[in-house]
Every structure is written in C-alpha cells, then in structure tokens.
Amino acid sequence: MFEKRRYHPIAILIYLIAGFKKWLPLLIVSYISEGLTDNWWGNLFFFGVVLSLSLQALLRYFFEYYQLFEEKIVIYKGIFQKKEIDIPYERIQTIKERQWFFFKPFQITELLIETAATGAKEAEVDMSAVSETVFQQIESYRNQHQPKDVLDKEGSGAVAKEPFEKNGKSYTITNNQIFLFGLTDISVFAGIFAFLLFLEEYLPKIWLEQVGDVTLTLVRTGWLFVLGIAIFLVILSMAVAVIKNFFRYYNFQVSRNGQTLTVERGLFQRHIQKIPLSKI
Amino acid sequence: MEYPLLAKQMPTRIQKAWRNRSLLGSLIFLLIGAITGGVLAYFKMASPLVTWGIAIYFLLVVFIMIFSLAVIPYRYKYHRYEITSEDLAFQKGYFFRTTTFVPINRIQHVTTEQGPILRQQQLMEIAVHTAATTHRLAGLDAQEATELRQQIIDLVKVAKEDV
C-alpha cells in the first residue's frame, strides 16, 4: 500500500499543452482576422488566456491525488466538489499508457485507466504523470486478481493452439509496411481539403486575391507547369501521410504476456495498451 | 399491501443538506430574477407584459421552493438502500416509488462526491457505476460512506464478473 500522492510535477506542463491545443485554432483565427497588427486588446486577450490556462493547470495539479491499495486504485480530485473514484483491479478493462518522448528521461508515463462503465469516450481515470514503477505496480496487483479459471479453461481450448509465444513478441509492423500504408493513405487529402476551406473562410480577402493573380500568371506560363505543381502537391500530401503514419505507428507491436494482450505504437508519443484476455 | 421498505436510511442530517440546497438554489433564481427586473426597469423596458412575466417567475420560484421543502420528509423516508452479498438495492420516490437492484458482479467502480453543502453536514454522495447506468445515494455519513465503499469493493473482489 502506498500513501496518498500527487502526480509528477511535469503534469502541469501536460495540462498547459492540452489547454493550448484547445485554444490554438481560436488564437490563430483571432490573430489573423485582426490583420496581424499589434493591438492592445489582442495582447490582453492572449495574456488572459495564458494566465487562466496556467491557473487551471496549477489548480488541477494541486488538487489531484492518487493512492494504490491492495485491491483498488483511488483517485481524489475536485476543489469545492470533492470527488473520489474507486476502481477495483478486477474491473479494469484496459490500461493505456501514453509516454511523450520528453517523459522518458524522467521515467514518467501517463496512465489512462478504463472500466466498462458508461461514458466510454473518456477514460475513468487519467493519471497524467506518474512514475513507471506505478504502472508496474498496478500491473502486478492486477495479475494477482486475474480469475484463475479463465486461464485453465483457455489453456485447454482454442486459444492455446494459436501461435502466441508466451512472453514474446508475436506481431510487429516493419517500417516498409508503414511506408506503403502511408503512400496509400488518402485520409490526408481530406485534411488538406478542409485546411483549404478554412483558409478561404478566414484569411483576409487581399491575400486570396493575390493568390488568384499568381495562379493566373502561372496558367499563362503553360499547362506543363501547372501539371508539375499538381504532381508536387500529390507528392507533398503523400509525404505528409507517410510522416503522420510513422509518428503514429512506429514500432507497432502486439504481444501476449500471460493473460494480458499488449499493443504498442508511436514515435514521439508512445502508446501502450494492455487488455486482459478475459475482458475481450 | 404495505410498500416494502429497504433496511437502511441516510442519516437525518441529509434533510438539512436538502433544505440548504433548495434554499440556496431558490435564492440564486430569485437573484437572477431581481437582476433581470432591475436591468429592464433601468432601461425603461418594463412594459406591463414584462412586469407580469417577472411576477409569475417569482411566484413560480417561491412555489417550487415551498413544494421542495415540503416534500423533504417524504423524500427522506423513501430514500433507502440495502446491501446483501449478491446485490445492492436503491429505493427512491414518494409519488412514484422505485426500487432498483444492482447485482454486485455488475458493478464496475464506485465514486464518492462531496460538494460544499454536503461537506457542511459531513455527508458524502456515493455513485455506483455499472456498465450501463449510474446509481446514486444522496448522502451518507463520511465514515459510513467509506465503509460501504469498502464493503462494495470487497464484494466485487469476490464476485466473478461476466460482462
């Protein structure tokens, strides 16, 4: 059993980043539509956003605790409306581990713990920054609580016949495969299209007119040139897709460790997901 | 036949918490009404229709407050729970009475919540989450809440889940 503890202070940084991510589109839009001028109100607005976000992050950090017990995890949060969340280890559906590259040197990870309860969109518990040992601790408690008879039943059944090596990697994706998938991934086109629409909506009119003029001169230069640009755009979008998929699926691994299935992926942000076999 | 009541009740202090909540809520609604009325009068927009509207609003708020205060004892009497080794039962409602049984092995996790009003009375709200629903007990003594929570968790540990 551990005492009641706060998350690692690096969590404040995470809260800040998450807050900015939410505000970023609005900030950019307001910045552009103001015509890129230094104005007093704009600065005040920006300052206000930064201040309130930092305050939020700090408050969240100082009012959230976690505590591990033999049979459950308890999370404490809330300033006025105090909330305690009790999750018994058996009822954990999945544990997702998200590790940013800058967490690694500190041996810190983010843990998302889910049960089968309602509101599946959000994890029941978001332990924003805890030591890796906490993850191992939870895993070991959880393995103790795994129902033993599931193991026996499946041991003689169909599952055992599948080519799972125990405690070993059983499926990985090579870089070539990610590359191929990236080339054929057309979801990026949709993103670019949306981005263009966004530009048309929010950019100042003069810019667009200038772009229109440039396009006209280009068309006059010859169709070959236009074709060249089109091909360049396609290649660019492919490159974006490849890079995106590398970030997302780098070193993708599925493995089985005893009664737990582990899925790992990601380059800068490493995602590790652990699912007990009995919950699938 | 007499309606079967479950064994356990909240501590009587919950009535005080309910009363405070009702009073505070009504106060806020009255303030909103007063501010709206004041602003409208200040800008000389208080036509007879608006005046009547605001008067009706105030009456409604006061009526709802009196009603909710009046039913607190009944609400208290019929807000009950019971825990056995197999299920957890919740009971509520005076005009429309419901009793819900939640099998222990379907419980996913338990949360407790405590706002300023409940904290003043040293009470805690307990919410029991299953895969489909959330069931709440309006307020238990902090000590009792911790015990009940532990009891549920212990039972969950023993009960085999099949979801």
Q: Is A167 helix (H, G, I), strand (E, B) or coil?
A: coil
Q: What is the pLDDT of residues B7-39, one digit of tens each?
A: 888 888 889 999 999 999 999 999 999 998 888
Chain A partners within 8 Å of B113 (Cβ)? 78, 81-84
On whether the CB atoms of residues B135 and B127 are closer than 8 A, the answer is yes
The predicted model gives B76-104 an average pLDDT of 86
**Which is more confident, A172 or B66?**
B66
Least confident span in A48-52, A162-166, B4-8, B123-127: A162-166
Report chain B residues touching chain A, CB-CB < 8 A: 107-116, 119, 129-134, 149, 153-154, 156-157, 160-161, 163
pLDDT of residue A118: 64
Q: In what order do the strands lie in the sheet with B123-130?
A: A5-6, A65-68, A72-77, A82-88, B107-114, B123-130, B134-141
pLDDT of residue A119: 59
Q: Mean pLDDT, chain B, as a whole number?
A: 86
Q: What share of chain B has pLDDT > 90, as a percent?
A: 20
pLDDT of residue A161: 39
Chain B partners within 8 Å of A83 (Cβ)? 111-114
pLDDT band at A34 (very low <50, low <70, confident <90, very high): low
Chain A partners within 8 Å of B154 (Cβ)? 71
Q: What is the pLDDT of residues A63-89, one digit of tens each?
A: 888 888 888 888 888 888 888 888 888
pLDDT of residue A258: 73
Which of A90, A118, A147 is opposite residue B156, by nearest beta carbon?
A90
- pTM beyond 0.95: the answer is no
Least confident span in A8-12, A30-34, B76-80: A30-34
- A91 interfacial to chain B (CB closer than 8 Å): yes
Which of A80, A86, A88 is opposite residue B111, by nearest beta carbon?
A86
pLDDT of residue B119: 87
pLDDT of residue A165: 45
Give the other-Cβ count within 10 Å of A30's Cβ.
Answer: 16
On whether the CB atoms of residues A99 and A250 are closer than 8 A, the answer is no
Rounded CA-CA distance B80/B5 in Å is 8
Which of B115, B119, B131 is opposite residue A116, by nearest beta carbon?
B131
Helical spans, DSSP H, in chain B: 13-42, 48-70, 72-78, 116-120, 142-158
Q: Give how far B124 is from chain A: nearest CA, Å.
A: 9
Amino acid letter for position B24: L
Q: Give how far B95 is from chain A: nearest CA, Å.
A: 28
Q: Taking CA A218 as the corner, what is the angle to CA A213 and CA A224, rounded to the nearest 5 degrees?
A: 160
Evaluate if residue B101 carries a pLDDT over 80: yes
C-beta atoms of B153 and A90 within 8 A:
no
pLDDT band at A123 (very low <50, low <70, confident <90, very high): low
pLDDT of residue A203: 67
Evaluate if residue A168 carries a pLDDT over 60: no
Which of B111, B148, B163 should one mutate to test binding to chain A, selecting the residue with the greatest count of A CBs within 10 A?
B111
- A209 interfacial to chain B (CB closer than 8 Å): no
Q: What is the pLDDT of residues A46-58, one digit of tens each?
A: 788 889 989 988 9
C-beta atoms of A117 and B149 within 8 A:
no
For residue B116, how far is the Cα from the chain centroid?
14
